[in-house]
Amino acid sequence: MKLICVIDDNGGMMFNHRRQSKDRELRKNILTLAAGAGADQESDADGAAQTEEACKAQLWMNQYTASQFEEEELKGQAFLKISDGLSSAGDQDYVFLEDQPPSEYAEQADELVIYHWNRKYPGDLKFDIDLGNWKLLQTTEFSGFSHEKITREIYVPSE
């Protein structure tokens, strides 16, 4: 599985059982990535990512994470799986994780996609995977809607 997490400068993911922040451009980037459109491709004119036939993977998230998406963002996204059984995701699937320790899924992960807010927020749930065993494959920066700069890093296991 490909594990997606969003962290602040201190590695925080949540504070007091709530996400630290959200951004519609980040959500669009995640949907596009998971739809198989690739890191540098755009979605279509309506902002919709590719159809299920074009998808190589599914995007799994629990109900809490799905609640940050606007209804129109999810409309027509047949590759989405909203379930609390995130460990059922397949090898090529993406899992967007916000409210659970990422280390619980580290053994299943063959790729980490980490988005950085490039800000500091209060946090009590931290990203807890040691990146010393991972190799940085790609770094991409883009402008968010409510964040001046969001950084996406993709890691694969070190050999």
CATH number for the domain running over 2-37+53-120+145-157: 3.40.430.10
pTM for this predicted structure: 0.85
Neighbours of 123 (CB within 10 A): 18
For the chain, the structural domain boundaries read 2-37+53-120+145-157
Q: From first to last of its 159 residues, what are the pLDDT tens digits of the chain? A: 999 999 999 999 999 989 999 999 999 999 999 988 443 333 343 444 444 434 568 999 999 999 998 877 777 677 888 888 888 898 999 999 999 999 999 999 999 999 999 999 999 999 999 999 999 999 999 999 999 999 999 999 997
E strand segments, the chain: 2-7, 12-15, 18-19, 59-61, 80-82, 94-96, 111-116, 125-126, 134-142, 150-157
